[in-house]
Amino acid sequence: MAETGPDPDVRFDKHKAGIQANRYVTQYGLHLLPDLYEGFNPMRYEEAQAREVEIGIDLRSAGFGVWQA
């Protein structure tokens, strides 16, 4: 989960178009899964930072590919 301002659909479309792209999304991304993130929005920046690692671990354990810096 990234701390980002743009709408997830816009961000995904940019990745797929190669704009500010994440190579994994560009190569392998098929579509968004709103059911996974809708419950987190809106979230304050500070809260997103604090929960990012925890949410990433949860998603990884559920079988999703998650890359964090």
Q: Which amino acid is at 12?
A: F
Q: Whole-model pTM?
A: 0.64
CB–CB of 4/28 below 8 Å?
A: no
pLDDT digits 0-9 by tens, 12-66: 999 899 998 888 888 988 999 999 888 887 888 889 888 989 989 999 999 988 8
pLDDT band, very low/low/confident/very high, at 3 (cuts 50, 70, 90) = low
Question: Residue 24 contacts by C-beta under 8 Å, 6 or more apart in sequence?
Answer: 65, 67
Q: Which two tokens stand for residue 55?
A: 């949410």
